Structure 1
């Protein structure tokens, strides 16, 4: 009887496998750009000009639409304006593209991660408190 029990236990442990390997993404290290200010990464200057819309559903509220936030950034290199770009965080409306790429160069991209602070129920966000989070990504 002990032999059969030992055989069953050994057979069980022979079939047991470890957990599946899960790919874990590397953490994103983002730079904060306050509204009206600029940051320079690899010689590319990103100026956070404005928040044109912030209709994101506030914390503590149930909404029928998640909403979105739209920001305007200006990109410069060596003092010369390269482009102005509108970036949309959240839902898009007919024909709009949710592309968070601020600027592509060489083998890298500068991307917008999000804007802070996130709206809160019954609290008006002061526009001077907005911060754009930007990170560099290798292609």
Structure 2
């Protein structure tokens, strides 16, 4: 009986240590959700969105230009205009990498995606940061 117990304990402990600690994606919106301590972000405004809408064929993928506010302990420390493109979002990754040093950033996306013949309300935009 003891051998079975130790066998299950060994299997359980191996499976617990094998789990990766993956950070969930971070969503940045225009709502004021500020952390009491540490860094937090807010999408101040979307200046332009020239991404190719779904249902349309385009020569150029387009890009989104927006202004991000950076807060530390609820105080503004930086305001930055960034450009996010489906083909190249290195500027955005490098900007957020200054503040997220524990996990490597894999990608930065802007939602919602434009749809043919539909005007998007700029207040619904959000930025999503995904980690490796």
Q: Which segment is superposed worse, 28-37 or 103-112?
A: 103-112
Counterpart selection for 2:42 from 47, 59, 62: 47
Q: Provide the TM-score with structure 1 as the length reference.
A: 0.62
Displacement of 1:81 after TM fit?
1.9
Q: 2:69 corresponds to which residue?
A: 74
Are the aligned partners of 2:22 and 2:131 in contact in 1 as well (CA < 8 Å)? no
Report deviation, 1:32: 2.0
CA deviation map 1:83-134 (0-9, x unaligned):
1111211179xxxx84112351484379672111000001111112111213
Extract unaligned runs of 5+ from structure 1. Answer: 1-25
2:49/2:64 contact within 8 Å kept: yes
Structure 2 unmatched ranges of 5 or more: 1-20
Higher relative contact order (CA 8 A, sep 6+): 2
Deviations 1:38-92 (A, max 9, x none): 3549710111111111000001101121110011111111233221111211179
Q: What count of residue pairs does the alignment treat as equivalent? A: 108
Cα root mean square deviation, aligned: 3.2
Structure label with greater radius of gyration: 1
1:107–1:117 Cα change, 3 Å: closer
Matched, 1:31 2:26: yes
- Given that 1:59 and 1:119 are in contact with CA atoms closer than 8 Å, whether structure 2 keeps it comes out as yes
TM-score, normalised relative to structure 2: 0.65
Q: Residues 130 and 107 from structure 1, CA distance in 2 versus in 1: closer, same or farther, beyond 3 angstroms?
A: closer
In the alignment, does 2:109 pair up with 1:127?
no
Query: Does the aligned pair in 1 maintain the 2:82–2:91 contact within 8 Å?
Result: yes
